[in-house]
Chains A and B, each alone.
Chain A
């Protein structure tokens, strides 16, 4: 019994270590800083050329969308401090929920000298009137 038991523990340990290694690699390869607009603007250079995730609010009336080239640009403000703003550009299909005043989550790069965020992905939350307290879990 003792021998088999210790070998079982050894086997479980090996799987555990392998999985931990996979997870460690996964996090270091794909982890993305999640920041607010204020933080990104305040920092000098830490976020240059670094993939970051950003949440903010679309400033009313700032959306320009060229449907032909699917080129989108808009102004983004901090969720807490609306005076902190930056420009955002995005190429691609815009989600249905995206419009003035909604909260968006962007992933991409910050271009410091232009105070512009170049987004690779754009997710829009449902506007508050339509808060889909969707019951799914």
Chain B
């Protein structure tokens, strides 16, 4: 089977080269037969990446430890679900997954463009995709094959890192990948537009769904990563501004800016250069993220083992970036807009501000992430910045972003009149002032949380008014009752209202982040059986230590009775697990989650006579971070459901 997998990826590699050559010849000779041939080669390529992937999954399921990659990431005792997902637990499998997904995306594009072969841009789109596939397949076939064999099969594999044996962690990498890979498609369309000089907004229109979908996957990946850190790592947080986390967040920020500015180009035909630049930057940063993770150039808690792939990615990334910038510069005159902003009091201007803020966030995060390299290069001193830097620098920028999210829908397109502004701002402003007063009365005295919560109220108010007005107008026009008019409104104009739903989700995320970071209470204590500890309004009583075996692990579980303000709230089990293959224990996290707050318990240590040391925190409003994330994703998905939508018109 290993030979079959190996052969499959070699064939896939050959077809990627063949496709590239055929399309090049086709473009050069202006001969559709060659382009058609190249297109067919792309389908063959996808067939062979698929069979290579099936082969690798099969090797994992059948415990074929002669294959070094399988021996490194699996063992006999591993549950079957994790055996299959160990596919992408390491770098080699991740690369194969990348190539496979990109080849599937490629044939989706090839299928969708089946009647557009005569378009001048189509072959160039294929060319960018087949070129990228050639790069990944080259790495797989020549540099680091997942099918390479060990001289002798070990009796058992080394097992999968216990920390990766968690559903969130299993889906975190592939969803991030789907996002990263997805941006290859709009990038390919943009490059094709630049190469052919067909620079109108059609590339943006055709790739809007790819953009938003890639953004959705990138978001899911980031949220799952945060959730995994929260429920698995046990330090009580979900985001540490570690280089590896930033590596996925920076492209997300730029992608978000791009999705917004694409709307302006579609509506007003301005910002063409800017949009080209943003998609190139997004795609480059996706590669940069991969480079950071693979090169080991930055110190991270996540240890990926630098494997020499960094250089390849660096080369690929620099080529992509410089090449694209060159193409943009070449087409600069044609790309320049005939039109310009008409006024600062216009929705376009708020979108522009939004873009500037997103890029500022991306830049400050990127700067902080690579600061050790910068400082060493310029001063010879390696200086690092960590969480405090990002919190200090990014918090005010995030708050400005929240403010812009609120004012954007209140200002009309082109040029808003002063009367119009007064009318639109009155109600949200009053609501916000009332809300801020209440917050002050209830004891929110810290500056940032007060601003953050007040702005959240402001944005929610503007969104609520937007929905209310839309529903009222629809009722008047169609005569539908409210319970029909409201969902129909969203459905009929899902591009617009999907966007608002995504904004609502973002605000709720802000509320969760503010609550859990600014009002967290944390205690630590060592208890003998029968003793209690107090954290905020909670009391925890240690009743007994249970010991048992489950699958491939031994579990020690301290049973804790939980009371809030004296009334019982059930029990929590704080665990340590010993996995058979790992020579270290893992501390499990136990959470009692309510809408108001999470009770978060870990047992870092216990003694021979089962006295336990507990670390307990109360994280207010934590649940809302995940709920907000879900709403944001739902909004994104709603906005790209196919079919007739009255889209961007307001």
Contacts and interface: CB of A to CB of B under 8 A. Distances in A.
Interface string B337-376: 0001111100000001100110010011001100110010
Contacts of B367: 23
A1 B304 CA distance: 52
A22 B386 contact: no
A17 to B, nearest CB: 11
Interface SS majority for chain A: mixed
A33 B293 contact: no
Interface string B561-574: 00000000000000
Nearest to B612: A67
B541 interface: no
B290 A99 contact: no
A94 interface: yes
Nearest to B305: A131
Contacts of B225: 136
B420 to A, nearest CB: 20
B393 interface: yes
Contact of B383 (A29, A33, A96, A136): A33
A97 B304 CA distance: 15
A57 interface: no
B195 to A, nearest CB: 29
Contact of A33 (B307, B381, B611): B381
Contact of A70 (B89, B177, B524): B524
A134 B389 contact: no
B473 interface: no
Interface residues of B, number: 80
Contacts of A134: 89, 161, 164, 173, 302, 304
B363 A30 contact: no
A137 B290 contact: yes
Contacts of A31: 371, 375, 383-385, 389
Given A19-B363, A31-B383, A123 B172 contact: no
A81 to B, nearest CB: 18
B605 A70 contact: yes
Nearest to B355: A12
B392 A26 contact: yes
A97 B233 CA distance: 11
A83 to B, nearest CB: 23
A136 B164 CA distance: 11
Given A67-B607, A99-B584, A32 B385 contact: yes
Interface of B: 88-91, 93-94, 97, 158, 161, 163-164, 169, 172-173, 176-177, 180, 221, 225, 234, 244, 247-248, 289-290, 292-293, 299, 301-305, 307, 340-344, 352-353, 356-357, 360, 363-364, 367-368, 371-372, 375, 381-386, 388-390, 392-393, 396-397, 524, 526, 582-587, 602, 604-607, 611, 613, 615
